[in-house]
Amino acid sequence: MTEADNGTAWQRLSPWAVLFLLVRGIVDFIRQNLPVVIGAGAWVAFVERVGMQQLLAIGATLLALALSLTLLYYRRFRFRLDDDVLRVQKGLIRQVEVRIRAQRIQQLALEQPAWMRPFDIVRLSLDTPGGVTTEVELPGIRRSLAEELSKRLDSARQQGAGDQSAPASTKPDTLFRITPVALTLHGLSSNAVYLLLAAIGPFLRPLEGRIRERLEREEPVPWLQPLADTPWLSVPLLLGALLLALMMVSVGAAWLRYFRYTLTRQGRYYVQRSGLLNRRQQTLSADRLQAVEQVQTMLGRLLGRYHLVCRQYGGPQPADQAGRSFLVPGLDRGTANRLSVLFLPGLEPREDLQPVHRAYRRALALRYTAVIGLTGLALAVWQGSGWWFLLTGGALAATWPVAHLRWRLLAWAVGRDHLIVRRGLLGQRTTLFPVERVHAVQLRQSWFQRRLTVATVQLTLASGPVLLPWLRESQARALADWVLYRVETRELPPAVPGTMTAGAAETP
Amino acid sequence: MPFSNARLDPARLPRLEELPLTGVSRAYARYRLAHSLLGWIPALVVLAMLPPHGPWPDWLPLVGAPLLAVLGPLHSGLNWVEARGRAYGLREHDLVYRSGLLVRRTRILPLSRVQHVETVSGPLERLFGLVRLNCFTAGGSSGDLQLAGITSETAADLRDYVLSRIRGGPDREDIDPHDRSG
């Protein structure tokens, strides 16, 4: 194998990467600006003012400029692997060199969009602990080179971790493979429906205006006339159709993203592969794993579906941000627990979670009441309308049930060397983590909490803080002492203090 | 170096509440008072220089001045009281810092988690002989600890001790930061 093949000589991106960079730049630009421009109607005003020909000329100039900059970026981009250090030189005006040691890599991803397949090129991206965005991206290199680089980096990482028993060539052990039914259920239960609704929100009003104008201009459609005459029937039907369409889009998105999802273990690394058009491969280091979250959306609770989010260094990320979170979709309860135990050896999934102090429910209700009451009062006085009083009254009536739901779902349990914290309102999220991963402990008490002898405990992991609000003060202190002992001595404490077990669940 | 943990009894977890905390330097309360009062001065100046008639309501200077006269000292006074309640403690394996007046926070940072340490002091802090000791962890801002209101000597001793623990070097038993809180 030559140096060019194994990445040890200076390498350039594939020429096709120019196309990829250009397309991605244009798509990003459109994605960032289109809702604002179209939603506000500014686009139409701009076209009318400038004229189509001038607009095309501006577009062509901008495209030529973007192409020139992309070509320049391509020419200045090169990379190589020096032993266990990946060096990347890039930059348009300012030339920078990024060096990443293999042992620092916490996630490595290979991605192949459908249009890259005929050219056999892939996108390789690397994350390191503490990085907010993807640290290094090689946007378009030959698949053989990417696989060789990936293998060499994995090998260097494992040697760095002192794991000689599991070389990169170890046969992968399949842990989970998604079925079509599970994938469809994941799509149905996904929060993508709400995100989609929020994304198309700005377009709905202009669209409704256009449809209304058109209907007023044209002859009424005979078969639609009965619906137009019965709004009590047409409105629910329209909403139902919209919801159905969104659900279908959500299921389609799940199929695109997680088609043939497979999770394997290879030595100290977890590897997932998925995607219909855009084939993606992500590698997660077991050593960098901080916490596992079992997530159930509201619909997921109805359908009994879970997904897991593996949290690494670098703070919380949006649940399904492409290329960042390591997400395992389409699970039932048993599989979610089985995989959680595989990710966090020694974990004992618990059902007997204990609630926090019930005064938390009162505090939440009072907090909601104060915010809603004051806002409603201010709006009623400002607008001079009695409707605001009615609306505020209705919202205030909902504060106690909402507070009760939040209190009921907030629960925790302590295992031999793990902590489990569950929270939510309609959906729920259960965080499981080894106590030894805690970086800092904070005890917090407001004046109100001091009177009730309760306290809030915040445990900070490298992936972000986990909050345990409103524990009995003695319980909170015992928990803090227990966690600190575990972190500082790296030994298991003699026993879980009695004050922290479910038997000591709070009674006011 | 083998892990040393002589003070700990496995049969009984060391209790945080048994740790006597040392108050921060008394100069810190004066610093917070001065800092807060200085912060209110721009608002007072703007209000004092407002012409009686302008695009703002006529009652603004009349109401604003007494309001500032009450809020400024009240806010500064609360800062002073809060600063006097701040305290810290050092154990063999962790650093403890208590702050807050209405919401009291006790933050405990295991020394093994500290990535790096820095000392910072602004001009006003230097005037009062104060330094902040920032201990950074891999847990991001919510995992970091900022120990404000200590003298430069205490900060230096604490920093040396923390660094010795990071390096895993010999324990600095000769250092007793509690003696120099000012």
- Domain residues of chain A, as ranges? 3-174, 187-258
Within its chain, how far is the Cα of B56 from the centroid?
39
For A386-436, how does the pLDDT look when each residue is reduced to its tens digit (9 = 90+)? 788 888 888 888 999 999 999 999 999 988 889 999 999 989 999 999 999
Low-confidence residues of chain A: pLDDT under 70: 1-7, 34-45, 129-135, 158, 160-170, 220, 228, 314-324, 491-508
Half-sphere exposure of A461 (CA within 13 A, CB side): 24
Domain identity same for B57 and B94: no
Contacts of B8 in chain A (CB under 8 A): 485, 489
Within its chain, how far is the Cα of A119 from the centroid?
30
Q: Given this model, what pLDDT does residue A364 score? A: 94
CB A103 within 8 A of CB A161: yes
Q: Of A447, A487, A491, which has the smallest distance from its Cβ to B102's Cβ?
A: A447
Contacts of A478 in chain B (CB under 8 A): 13
Pick from B42, B64, B82: which residue ends a domain? B82
Domain identity same for B173 and B93: yes
Domain identity same for B43 and B98: no
Q: How many CB atoms lie within 10 A of CB A249?
A: 15
CB A295 within 8 A of CB A267: no
Half-sphere exposure of A153 (CA within 13 A, CB side): 32
Domain count, chain B: 2
Pick from B66, B82, B98: which residue ends a domain? B82
d(CA A36, CA A58): 20
Please report whether residue B1 resides in a domain: no
Q: Of B14, B100, B140, which has the smallest distance from its Cβ to A481's Cβ?
A: B14
Structure tokens at B168: 């895993």
Domain identity same for B71 and B97: no
State the virtual CA torsion across B107, B121, B168, A269 in degrees, nearest 10.
70
Please report whether residue B3 resides in a domain: no
For A215-244, how does the pLDDT look when each residue is reduced to its tens digit (9 = 90+)? 777 776 777 777 767 777 777 888 888 888
Contacts of B105 in chain A (CB under 8 A): 442-444
Domain identity same for B96 and B69: no
Structure tokens at A211: 């449809």
Q: Is residue B14 within 8 angstroms of chain A, CB to CB?
A: yes
- Length of chain B equals 182
| Of A364, A390, A368, residue with least CA distance to A377 | A390
d(CA A141, CA A149): 10
d(CA B144, CA B76): 26
Please report which residue ranges of A88-179 form alpha helices under DSSP H. 143-160
Mutation for A interface: B16, B21, B91, B98, most A CBs within 10 A: B16
Report strand pairing: B145-151 vs B130-136. antiparallel
Contacts of A485 in chain B (CB under 8 A): 8, 13-14
Question: Where in the sequence is the domain holding B154, given as residue range(s)?
Answer: 86-180
Contacts of A477 in chain B (CB under 8 A): 15-17
Q: Is residue B143 within 8 angstroms of chain A, CB to CB?
A: yes
| Of B100, B120, B128, B104, residue with least CA distance to B38 | B128
Domain identity same for B59 and B135: no
Q: Is residue B2 within 8 angstroms of chain A, CB to CB?
A: no
Q: Given this model, what pLDDT does residue B7 score? A: 45
Q: How many CB atoms lie within 10 A of CB A331?
A: 26
Contact (CB<8Å) A442/B105: yes
Q: Given this model, what pLDDT does residue B175 score? A: 43
Domain identity same for B96 and B164: yes
CB A406 within 8 A of CB A364: yes
Please report whether residue B13 resides in a domain: no
Q: Of B110, B144, B145, which has the smallest distance from its Cβ to A484's Cβ?
A: B110
Query: Is residue B2 predicted with pLDDT exceeding 90?
Result: no
Q: How many CB atoms lie within 10 A of CB A274?
A: 21
Nearest CA in chain A to B137: A439
DSSP type of residue A440: E
Domain identity same for B117 and B155: yes
Structure tokens at B25: 């330097």
The packing angle between helices A231-258 and A180-189, to 10°, is 130
Please report whether residue B56 resides in a domain: yes
Closest Cα of chain A to B111: distance in Å?
8
Q: Given this model, what pLDDT does residue B177 score? A: 44
Closest Cα of chain A to B104: distance in Å?
5
Closest Cα of chain B to A287: distance in Å?
14
Domain identity same for B136 and B55: no
Kindly report the CATH number assigned to the domain that includes residue B100: 2.30.29
Please report whether residue B125 resides in a domain: yes
Please report whether residue B121 resides in a domain: yes
Domain identity same for B161 and B141: yes
Domain identity same for B41 and B104: no
DSSP type of residue A498: G
Kindly give, in sequence order, each residue whose CB lies less than 8 Å from that of residue A500, ignoring residues fewer than 6 positions away: A414, A475, A478, A479, A482
In chain A, the N- to C-terminal Cα span, in Å, equals 71
For B39-59, how does the pLDDT look when each residue is reduced to its tens digit (9 = 90+)? 888 888 887 777 777 777 777
Tokens 């690394």, residue? A269
Q: Of B94, B140, B144, which has the smallest distance from its Cβ to A484's Cβ?
A: B94
Closest Cα of chain A to B93: distance in Å?
6
Q: Of A441, A488, A491, which has the smallest distance from its Cβ to B93's Cβ?
A: A488
CB A481 within 8 A of CB A473: no
d(CA A231, CA A55): 43
d(CA A372, CA A46): 41
For B132-154, how does the pLDDT look when each residue is reduced to its tens digit (9 = 90+)? 999 988 766 666 899 999 999 99
Please report whether residue B138 resides in a domain: yes
Mutation for B interface: A488, A492, A496, A499, most B CBs within 10 A: A488
ipTM of the complex: 0.81
d(CA B167, CA A195): 47
